[in-house]
Amino acid sequence: MQHILQAFSLESNDSEIQKFGSGLINDTFLIVAANEKYILQKINTEVFQNPEIIGKNLYEADKHLKTLYPTYLFISQIKTSDGENFFVENGNYWRLTKFIDNSYSINTVNEPEMAFEAARAFGELTVKLQGLDLTKLKPSIPRFHDLSLRYEQFKLALQNASPALKAASKTEIDFYESNNGYVETFRKIQQDETYPNRMIHHDTKINNVLFDKQTQKSLCVCDLDTLMPGKIISDLGDMVRTYSSAESEESTEFEHVKIRLTYIEALMNGYLGKLKKNLTPSEKESLIFAGPFMIYMQGLRFLTDHLNGDVYYQISYKNQNLNRAKNQQALLEDYQLNQTKIATIIAATLS
């Protein structure tokens, strides 16, 4: 890998390289060179078919933030010695960023305060990126959070799956089909001209936030490949999905997969505390839909991948994607039971 580091003008004789993090999409390495730490990533080009779009979106976001908020911590791309965002070799795209000193990340949210902190960080990013000309940007994954597309992909997977596979996941297939009213609600939002696009992270899980080792406050957000125009229900919904659940999406203890209202309250306070002044009436109205939108879509994506033979999400055992779909089903069912209480929390946060 030394020649890759050299392409970024990094001193190579004393560098150390090790695998880093728990991401499922890109390959990530921690580099120590000349007493500085860096993160080197090989972009997954099956998922990100046009990495140049990521480079351009991050460049525009960085430029906007540096101009308006020079002290805001945003993880910039380090250019190659040729002035490019990536070092490209044999179709592989390599990207380098600084490692943020004194930071740490967590994989599960065990204190409401962490949910508040993380949600605050994502809200702040979107607020600060307001005013950026979105027409300059393109989606790094087209129709990434388009629930209509995800539902079509599910239907196609159903058509192509073997009868045995379908029979073994009948309960889950029935659940996701009978809850497809969410697709219609999404379509209405998509067609609503008063509902704006904003710069949205699109992957707000907890390990995409870096916390300060001393203060335990959020320092910045990372994993910015899907930072692109979208709807706030994506970011808020993924926080509801992953911070409020008492179990991770990998858990098979489905009876413990429950919504924790104190975490919902904390994350709403963190996110809406930053954004509520900027929201349109249509966005405010959609806040209750954010959680189910993302839980339903994620469950559908897991089930689709199971029916397709596990081609997208990495698995370590058979039926893992089916279990993930069951986990999301349990969470969605519990959200539905708690919907009135959650609506009360949202109303209180907005007031």
Q: What residues make contact with ligand A2G under the rule CB under 6 A?
A: 24-25, 47, 203, 226, 249, 298, 301
Question: Least separation, in Å, of the C-beta of 312 and ligand A2G?
Answer: 7
Block residue for tokens 């020649």? 3
* 13/160 Cα distance (integer angstroms): 52
Angle between helix 320-350 and 232-243 (nearest 10): 110
* Residue among 46 and 101 whose Cβ is closer to ligand A2G: 46
Question: Least separation, in Å, of the C-beta of 329 and ligand A2G?
Answer: 15
Cα pseudo-dihedral 189, 190, 194, 196, rounded to 10 = 110
* Residue among 128 and 241 whose Cβ is closer to ligand A2G: 241
* Residue among 185 and 207 whose Cβ is closer to ligand A2G: 207
> For 265, phi and psi rounded to 5 degrees?
-60, -45
Question: Least separation, in Å, of the C-beta of 325 and ligand A2G?
Answer: 12
Provide the 10 A C-beta neighbour count for residue 90.
4
Token pair, residue 200, equals 């949205």
* Residue among 46 and 193 whose Cβ is closer to ligand A2G: 46
Question: Least separation, in Å, of the C-beta of 25 and ligand A2G?
Answer: 5
* Residue among 226 and 286 whose Cβ is closer to ligand A2G: 226
Question: Least separation, in Å, of the C-beta of 191 and ligand A2G?
Answer: 23
Angle between helix 281-307 and 232-243 (nearest 10): 60
- The beta strands (E) that lie in 14-105 are given as 16-19, 27-33, 36-42, 77-78, 87-89, 92-98, 103-104
